[in-house]
């Protein structure tokens, strides 16, 4: 059964690719271009998973993580952070902000689905 996934990235290319991959795997995808838009899209609705970039205008990915965790509705929604940096710093920051896991770029469709599978029932 498909998941309802919110993909957040300021790059349309990246959103398109994430979206395409997830849809290909039978999931439903909502999109947002930054943290603010993501919170608007989320509203009071539940999603099964949030995938977000870190560096975005208006509201970055880490702030988005904290905002989502602070909301009782989404407190336990898995959040995956897309990072380019393979170093531990960004991962720790992500974790500190409440992220569930991370996907290290470059973007790779198989890897994405693998990780999604890892954090979603």
Which residues are within 8 A (CB) of 121 and not within 5 positions of it... i.e. 6 or more apart?
none
14 burial level (CB within 10 Å; 0-12, 13-18, 19+): middle
For the CA atoms of 68, 73, 76, 80, the dihedral, rounded to the nearest 10 degrees, stands at -40
31 binds another protein (CB under 8 A): no
The residue (of 28 and 119) whose beta carbon lies closer to another protein is 119
- Interface of this chain with another protein, residues 54 to 83, rule: CB under 8 A: 55-60, 62-63, 66-67, 69-70, 75-79, 82
Q: Given the rule CB under 8 A, which residues bind another protein? A: 10-14, 16-17, 20-21, 24-25, 35-37, 39, 53, 55-60, 62-63, 66-67, 69-70, 75-79, 82, 84, 86, 92-93, 95-102, 105-110, 113, 118-121
């Amino acid at each position: 059964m498909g998941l309802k996934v919110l993909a957040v990235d300021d790059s349309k290319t990246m959103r398109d690719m994430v979206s395409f991959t997830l849809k290909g795997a039978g999931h439903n995808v909502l999109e947002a271009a930054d943290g603010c838009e993501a919170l608007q899209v989320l509203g009071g609705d539940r999603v099964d998973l949030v995938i977000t970039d870190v560096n975005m205008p208006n509201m970055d990915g880490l702030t988005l993580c904290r905002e989502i965790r602070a909301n009782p509705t989404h407190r336990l929604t898995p959040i995956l952070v897309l990072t380019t940096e393979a170093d531990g710093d960004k991962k720790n920051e992500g974790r500190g902000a409440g992220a569930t896991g991370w996907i290290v770029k470059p973007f790779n469709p198989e890897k994405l689905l693998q990780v999604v599978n890892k954090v979603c029932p």
